[in-house]
Structure 1
Amino acid sequence: MSEEIFDLGRAERLLPQLEPLLRAALEEKKRLTSFGKELARQIERIIVLGGSQVDLEHFARCKKGKDESGARLRQAAEEIETLGCHLKDLDIGLVDFPCRLGEREVYLCWKLGEPNIQYWHYVEEGFAGRKPLDERTVKQMQRSCPHEPAG
């Protein structure tokens, strides 16, 4: 498997690095949405008025802002992915960390605002299948990933 595999300790050590990246990505998404709405209003105005009475400088600033926000959002998402984790839902700040439980691949699951990683789920279950981490499960994960130092 070429994908990085985490144990709980290693995944939690990434949270201080991950949290500001997620917050920055969320902020860029808000900006992108705002610029997109303003551009849509401007385009509607162009269509309705046939291009007259349109502030082309404002339109150009909005277009540039949208493009720049989109680029920064992509960069933040790529940075998150280079850490080895998976950004599952930016709107709620949901991130999964590939892990092993016995022979199965599972995900350690963390959501922005949670103080630490408290949940896991099977790959096919997703967020709806989140289960609380308990001591027994963590020990099984550690045995399944002996090359990782215990957290």
Structure 2
Amino acid sequence: MDRIFTLDEARALLPAVIEDARAVIAARADLAEIDFERRSGGRSELGGLPELKGLQARIEEILSGWGEQGIEVKGIAPVLVDFPAVLDGVSVRLCWIEGERELGWYHRTELGFPGRRPL
């Protein structure tokens, strides 16, 4: 069964999500640099294939952890997650995107990100 969050539950999880998102953002940048250097025949100071694979594994570990908690990952560039919820009897997603300091937005489930509204 899919988890349904209350606003308080989602907000309580947000500090850990933001901390994990910082790790994803750093790994994402390192991955981009290593991959670019590998494809262009250069060598990154950040390493090579083993480091690239390690970064990919770290990102996957974080995303899987979010999924196990019932958090829906919508993207990693930028990091975008949804917390399934019900507001006033309507299925919604409490929506957080990289750079936001708090959970202040939602959208109806069927509308997605373009339907975002402030809580």
Instruction: Name the TM-score class by shorter chain.
Output: 0.7 to 0.9
Paired AA for residue 41 in structure 1: S
TM-score normalised by L of structure 2:
0.86
Structure 2: 5+ residue stretches without partners: none
Secondary structure of the residue aligned to 2:48 is helix
Partner in structure 2 of residue 5 of structure 1: 4
Partners of 2:61 and 2:108 in 1: CA distance: 28
1:116 correspondence with 2:96: no
Secondary structure of the residue aligned to 2:107 is strand
Partners of 1:113 and 1:70 in 2: CA distance: 22
1:23-34 alignment runs, 5 A limit? 23-34=22-33
The structure with the largest helix share of the pair is: 1
Cα RMSD after superposing both structures = 2.0
Bigger Rg over Cα: 1
1:1-151 alignment runs, 5 A limit? 2-42=1-41, 61-133=47-119
Q: Tell me if the contact between 1:21 and 1:80 (Cα under 8 Å) persists in the aligned partners.
A: no
Structure 1: 5+ residue stretches without partners: 46-54, 134-151
Partners of 1:71 and 1:115 in 2: CA distance: 26
Aligned length: 117
Partner in structure 2 of residue 48 of structure 1: none
TM-score normalised by L of structure 1:
0.69
- Structure scoring higher RCO (CA < 8 A, sep ≥ 6) equals 1
Identity %: 30
